[in-house]
Amino acid sequence: MTKFLLWLILLVFCWPLALLALILYPFIWLLSLPFRLLGITVSAVFDLLKAIITLPARIIGGRKRLHDRRFHIRQGEG
């Protein structure tokens, strides 16, 4: 909604630029799609690497035990 309102303001102040933006927007969106897909892919690869690297610690449960111990210390149980 805010993009539309900004476009309306641009239309009032400079209508040729607003019409040019309206025409060029779909082409710019199409050009940006491969970069978005590349970003999603790279992010997924890094998440997979993080999961593989932290798998032994998650299997052992190191972080879970630390959290449980902090909880018991706060409650005064040990």
Q: What is the pLDDT of residue 68?
A: 59
Report the C-alpha gap between 57 and 35 in whole angstroms.
34
Boundaries of every domain in the chain: 2-75
Q: Note the pTM of the prediction, 2 decimals.
A: 0.53
Residue 11 falls in which region: left (phi positive, over 0), alpha (psi -120 to 50) or beta = alpha
Digit-coded pLDDT (tens) for 36-65: 999 999 999 999 999 999 988 888 876 555
